[in-house]
Chain A
């Protein structure tokens, strides 16, 4: 369960990225987040895993207010939230396998177990042959899939996907979508920020529309439309 209570975010340079947002995303829900570039989608997502703190208001994860979390408590929050970053954020000095296993590694999991889990997830994403390659040797779409693999490897309660502007391979998008649905069906809440109209229109899930930092539409079984609001 994710809850925003009158959340606003003003960056140091004075830009209001989020303006008084209140909403609730239930456990196991699948939510699209759309809006024009610069609308505040990434900022919204960053509130959830506390890459950024709200300027005012509160964010609750599983009924727990994460706004006053202490520095040393933050890692444990993040271990429960898988994030597919808009810019992937892969570690270039280690292999695909090591990147994917990293989340488990920081938790001190047995290497054999990590290896099992990593192999399984890489298989799921069609990356088995890339396990020993380095991120710099991969295409954009492959990097994104590695990032997804890392995000889901420890079965997080919440999965956040921040898709880059400009579509990657559309066929891959559908493959990824299927995987997200699969993960979602196992109880993980998914928040998916995207620019992919076809994806949103076909899925008919709940759609949140952000514009200039405001939540302008929140529709069950919505479609990709933010021009009309």
Chain B
């Protein structure tokens, strides 16, 4: 069977005829796919940011002086460690608190050398595994017996707002992207429909001399795939280029994000864009090809 060869030739003949139409379709589909690419990049970026936040999810419990240190170490800390959401508990006594402060702010050294009394409270640093758990853990800590809590602080409000915002961003993007992908399917489909219409009499002739529906259909499906393939290739290039230049800027200004560029796998983005590009091509092509070929028996 030499059918593949013939069908590729048919595809070539068809695409030659519709070159300008295909060109504009490539631009539109590339745009849609690039947006998808940027969305994946920004999702990955958010993931890095969130991971950083989650690594630093901490409740700081400032303790009033005068508690029993032994009870704290032998009863309370082990009990807090047992909370399901708690990953780590560090006890910072007054002395450590002073050392840390000294280290952070060297100008304070002199002041501390003058002051006999240490005004800094002891504290517990409770690391929590998920931002949702901050409040629950804080509430539960308040009910622990044997310690008097002076103050509890955690970045809960901000973290939750950020999470909410990024969730909103994600939902919005998904809706937006779905519309774009649908658009690109429609663009593919109408481009191919136009090609088919411009060759309608040829298609009829082919069928009259014994071509099967599939022989006539395949070139258009391949055309859709080529369209998708080419557009995804362009989109991948565009995303790669912009991602690298944007990442440089980000790395320069935000310290903890310096590693994010290497954490985003371009390979992952490439195959996702390819799959979406090719799939939309096939769907668009099948859609137009079958709607036209079924017109007349």
CB distance from A61 to the nearest CB of B (A): 14
Q: Which of A94, A105, A111 contacts B13 (CB 8 A)?
A: A94
Stretch at the interface among B2-10, B56-64, B235-243, B261-269: B2-10
Distance, CA A78 to CA B213, complexed state (A): 13
Taking a contact as CB atoms under 8 Å apart, the answer to whether B208 and A51 are in contact is yes
CB distance from A57 to the nearest CB of B (A): 18
Q: Which of B13, B209, B213 contacts A103 (CB 8 A)?
A: B209
> Given contacts A105-B6, A111-B2, are A72 and B213 in contact (CB under 8 A)?
yes
CB distance from A102 to the nearest CB of B (A): 6
CB distance from B219 to the nearest CB of A (A): 12
Judged by a CB distance under 8 angstroms, whether A172 is at the interface is: no
Taking a contact as CB atoms under 8 Å apart, the answer to whether B297 and A83 are in contact is no
B209: A residues at CB distance < 8 A = 78, 83, 89, 102-103, 106, 150
Distance, CA A51 to CA B207, complexed state (A): 10
Distance, CA A202 to CA B213, complexed state (A): 43
Distance, CA A51 to CA B205, complexed state (A): 11
A102: B residues at CB distance < 8 A = 206, 209
Distance, CA A227 to CA B215, complexed state (A): 46
CB distance from A213 to the nearest CB of B (A): 22
Taking a contact as CB atoms under 8 Å apart, the answer to whether B17 and A71 are in contact is no
| A51-78, CB < 8 A from B | 51, 53, 71-72, 74-76, 78
> Given contacts A91-B202, A108-B1, are A71 and B297 in contact (CB under 8 A)?
yes
Count of interface residues, chain B, beta-carbon cutoff 8 Å: 19
| B1-54, CB < 8 A from A | 1-3, 5-6, 13, 17
Distance, CA A51 to CA B202, complexed state (A): 15
> Given contacts A108-B3, A109-B2, A111-B5, are A91 and B210 in contact (CB under 8 A)?
no
Judged by a CB distance under 8 angstroms, whether A107 is at the interface is: yes
Judged by a CB distance under 8 angstroms, whether B212 is at the interface is: yes
B213: A residues at CB distance < 8 A = 71-72, 75
Which residue on chain B has the smallest CB distance to residue A147? B209
Taking a contact as CB atoms under 8 Å apart, the answer to whether A89 and B205 are in contact is yes
Interface residues of B, Cβ cutoff 8 Å to A: 1-3, 5-6, 13, 17, 202, 205-213, 215, 297
27 contacts between A and B (CB under 8 A): A71-B297, A72-B212, A72-B213, A75-B210, A75-B211, A75-B212, A76-B210, A78-B207, A78-B208, A78-B209, A78-B210, A85-B208, A89-B209, A91-B206, A93-B17, A102-B209, A106-B6, A106-B206, A106-B210, A106-B211, A106-B212, A106-B215, A107-B210, A108-B2, A108-B3, A109-B2, A111-B5
Name 18 extra pairs, CB < 8 A, besides A75-B210, A75-B211, A106-B6: A49-B208, A74-B207, A75-B207, A75-B213, A76-B210, A78-B210, A85-B208, A89-B205, A93-B13, A94-B13, A102-B206, A103-B210, A105-B6, A106-B210, A106-B212, A109-B2, A110-B2, A111-B5
